[in-house]
Amino acid sequence: MDELDSEITALLQADARISNRELARRLGVAPSTCLERVRSLTRRGVIRGYHADIDRQALNRGAEALVSVQVRPLSRAVIVQFKETVAAFPEVLSVFVLAGGDDFVLHVAVQDLDALHGFLLDKLSKRKEIAGFRTSVIFQSRHSTVVTRLPDTSE
């Protein structure tokens, strides 16, 4: 990744629908150079896809929470199976496998607090491998849509 690649990724993260011609213009390079760089970033797995940013409230999923989960027995098989199972739940947006006091954090989005309560009781509390869980309701959030490369500090 050089500076041009970093600029390309920043611009595409801000607007994935930008045309190659406009991207090249903003970068001050030829469209053919820009296109080859984007293709190279895709081949190398730096660009994994293009996504629409959807308002969850518009999809009737305005109540969000982070659910910290502890599972037992703590084994690779249990972790893999639990991760795959909960990732398939439509309420679950993200699954994070952790080290520390909690084994997982689930980011869930549902219609309202009653639906959240139902998810916790009907889907999570019935799972035999769950030793315990805590729920934190999210009132507001903000996430960065642009990830930049950090400078190499090993020099």
Do 34 and 69 fall within a single domain? no
Q: How far apart are CA 99 and CA 125, in angstroms?
A: 22
Residue 37: give its domain's CATH number: 1.10.10.10
Q: Look at the pTM and tell me if it is higher than 0.85.
A: no
Query: For residue 21, is it within any domain?
Result: yes
Binned at pLDDT 50, 70 and 90, residue 149 comes out as confident
How do residues 30-72 score in pLDDT, each as one tens digit?
999 999 999 999 999 999 998 888 888 899 899 999 999 999 9
Please indicate, yes or no, if residue 147 is contained in any of the structural domains: no
- Please report whether residue 50 resides in a domain: no
Q: For residue 48, is it within any domain?
A: no
Based on the fold, state whether residues 27 and 68 are members of the same structural domain: no
Report the SS3 class of residue 43: helix
**Could you tell me the pLDDT band of residue 145, with boundaries at 50, 70 and 90?**
confident
Give yes or no: residues 131 and 66 share one domain.
yes
User: Same domain, yes or no, for 29 and 88?
Assistant: no
Listed in sequence order, the DSSP H helices in 44-149 are 76-87, 113-119
For residue 32, the enclosing domain spans: 3-43
24 and 69 belong to one structural domain: no
Strand partners for 64: 109, 138
84 and 35 in one domain? no
- Please give the Cα distance from 115 to 136 (Å, whole number): 14
Angle between helices 3-14 and 20-27 (to 10 degrees): 130
Give CA angle at 14 (10, 18), nearest 5°. 100
Q: Is residue 13 part of a domain?
A: yes
Rounding to the nearest 10 degrees, give the CA dihedral for residues 111, 114, 120, 123: -70
β-bridge partners, 106: 67, 95
The total of other beta-carbon atoms located within 10 Å of residue 74's CB is: 11
Overall number of domains in the chain:
2
pLDDT at residue 153, as a whole number: 77
pLDDT of 144 reads 78
The answer on 74 and 10 residing in a single domain is: no
85 and 22 in a single domain? The answer is: no
- Residue 148 resides in a domain: no
Q: What percent of the chain has pLDDT over 70?
A: 99
- Quick one: the chain helix, strand, coil %, rounded to 5? 40, 20, 40
Q: What pLDDT score does 22 carry?
A: 97
Taking residues 8-29, what's their average pLDDT?
94
- Decide if 146 is inside a domain: no
